[in-house]
Amino acid sequence: MTLKKLIPVLIMMLAGCQSAPETVQKAQKAKPGPARSLDMETLCKGQAAWRYNTGTQKIQVIGFEQFQGSYEMRGYTARKEGFICSFDADGQFLHLSMR
């Protein structure tokens, strides 16, 4: 093969080997702002205090988890009774589960 024919073939081979890097889509992690998460904590404490017939000062919230379309706050009472408050993606209270 002559050099004139070889160069275009090499260029095409090199160009064919290159591909655009794949873009990896990641889940959006839109966390509620500090004011909204504090409101969620206050609402959770209020609901737990009402359910367990105690004061909000005796309720401890220890965990905040985000899932695909919801949030959960874990906590316990002064008597070590566990609970989980569930919120939707907008931060609206859904329910309280006793554990």
List pLDDT tens digits, range 9-55. 767 776 655 666 666 554 555 667 878 889 999 999 999 999 999 99
Six token digits for residue 73? 């706050």
pLDDT tens, 73-98?
999 999 999 999 999 988 899 999 99
Give the CATH class of 32-99. alpha beta
pLDDT at 14: 67
pLDDT at 6: 72
pLDDT at 55: 95
pLDDT-derived band at 59, boundaries 50, 70, 90: very high
Instruction: Tell me whether residue 58 is exposed, middle or buried, using C-beta atoms within 10 angstroms of its C-beta: 0 to 12, 13 to 18, 19 or more.
Output: middle
Q: Which of 97, 99, 75 is CA-nearest to residue 86?
A: 97
What does pLDDT average to over the chain? 84
Cα-Cα end-to-end distance for the chain: 78
